[in-house]
Structure 1
Amino acid sequence: MRIGIYGGSFDPPHYGHKNIAEFVIKELSLDKLLVIPLGIASHGKNSLSLSEDRMKMCELTFGDIEKAVVSPIEINMEGVSYTFKTLEAVIKDMGEDNEYFEIIGEDSANYFDKWKEYKKILELSTVVVLKRKGFKNVVDSPKMITVDNPYFNISSTEIKEKIRNGEDVSKFLTNKTVKFINTKNLYK
């Protein structure tokens, strides 16, 4: 099987994330895409919403994509979340006979050589780099491919700011996700 691994804070997950998921499933002919909300950030940015809220928002956002599966693997892991550890856990769980694709943005590829055990990540998977304006990939490896993906010009940070300001965010988030955010009173 061809398995994609798409991790992120997903706080909140928006149409850009959903469009990327649909795009990589098609572009890479994936049999399955694991959407993995971040457990404990390695970059010290732990002002995230509760894990169970991010998990639920991911289920609401990605749930109708046929080959996408939201996985709590990082949330359930002990300690800081590192991509190589997540990959090892996924491979242990799903088997070594599959082909794995780690999906990252070009903003992350811009400093990929600083990632913990980045060479191990390249051993375990093909790293698929999604283009982001103003960034470039710094690692030259045959196990790293860049795809020409559609852009979505909004970030979760900007969406949270709009919610705090009482602005309508329905063009950025699924209706179910908006309803969940309102019910839980998130980002106020």
Structure 2
Amino acid sequence: MKIGIYGGSFNPIHNGHIYIAKFIVENLGLDKLIIIPVGNPSHRENILIDGKLRLEMCKIAFKNEEKIEVSDIEINSNELSYTYDTLLKIRNLYPENEYFEIIGEDSGAYFHKWKNYKEILKLAKVVVLQREGYTTAIKDSNLLQIKNPFLNFSSTRIRESISKEETIENMVPKEIDEFIKVNKLYKK
């Protein structure tokens, strides 16, 4: 099987994430795409809402997508989240497959600084999605750059809009908007 791994903070998940997930499944011909909300991020200040809430939003967003599943593999771990370690865990859960690690070009710009990045390139093809204003720092035969549409969505912008009590209905699915309101998320 061809298995994609798409990790991120998903804080919150938005229409851009959802579009990219479907785009990746189709364009890479994946049999399965695993969405992995980060647990304990190794690379940023922890400004994330509770992992269980982010996990639940991802499950809502992809509930009708046959080839997309949401994993709690990082949310349920107390360890710092590193792509390399998560990739090893996924390979143990689904042995003997072809793996595709999905990252944005913003991450590609510093991919060479990731923990065990050379090993990641041996374990999976690293698929880099275009992001405006970034370029990938390294070249490797297992690093694939994909031409994808630039989408004007960002979790940061959504959080800022919520804190200003502005609508986010064009940036997230209706069910995610409702979930955020019911749980009073991202209010200052």
Query: Corresponding residue for 1:101?
Result: 100
1:154 CA drift (Å)? 1.9
CA distance, structure 1, for counterparts of residue 111 and residue 43 of structure 2: 13
Does residue 148 (structure 1) correspond to residue 182 (structure 2)? The answer is no
Query: Corresponding residue for 1:133?
Result: 132
Query: Corresponding residue for 1:120?
Result: 119
The list of structure 1 runs, each at least 4 consecutive aligned residues, that deviate by more than 4 angstroms after superposition, is: none
Query: Corresponding residue for 1:4?
Result: 4
CA distance, structure 2, for counterparts of residue 164 and residue 184 of structure 1: 14
CA distance, structure 1, for counterparts of residue 20 and residue 112 of structure 2: 23
Whether the 8 Å CA contact 1:16–1:151 is kept in 2: the answer is no
Does residue 172 (structure 1) correspond to residue 146 (structure 2)? The answer is no
Helix, strand or coil at the partner of 1:76: coil
1:77 CA drift (Å)? 2.2
CA distance, structure 2, for counterparts of residue 122 and residue 71 of structure 1: 22
TM-score by length of 2: 0.98
1:56-95 equivalences in 2 (<5 Å): 56-95=56-95
Q: CA RMSD in A?
A: 0.8
Query: Corresponding residue for 2:181?
Result: 182
Whether the 8 Å CA contact 1:128–1:146 is kept in 2: the answer is yes
Helix, strand or coil at the partner of 1:121: helix
Whether the 8 Å CA contact 1:7–1:36 is kept in 2: the answer is yes
CA distance, structure 1, for counterparts of residue 172 and residue 4 of structure 2: 23
User: Residue 43 of structure 1 aligns to which amino acid in structure 2?
Assistant: H
CA distance, structure 2, for counterparts of residue 139 and residue 72 of structure 1: 30
Query: Corresponding residue for 1:46?
Result: 46
Unpaired runs of 5+ residues, structure 2, are: none
Whether the 8 Å CA contact 2:104–2:129 is kept in 1: the answer is yes
Note the alpha carbon deviations across 1:56-98, whole angstroms, 9 max, x for none.
Answer: 1101112222210000011122310000000000001111x10
Note the alpha carbon deviations across 1:136-161, whole angstroms, 9 max, x for none.
Answer: 11111000000001121121010000
Whether the 8 Å CA contact 2:15–2:153 is kept in 1: the answer is no
TM-score by length of 1: 0.98
Alignment identity in percent? 47
Using the TM superposition, name which of 3-12 and 57-66 deviates more: 57-66
Note the alpha carbon deviations across 1:116-152, whole angstroms, 9 max, x for none.
Answer: 1101110110000000111111111000000001121
CA distance, structure 1, for counterparts of residue 162 and residue 156 of structure 2: 10
Unpaired runs of 5+ residues, structure 1, are: none
Whether the 8 Å CA contact 2:101–2:127 is kept in 1: the answer is yes
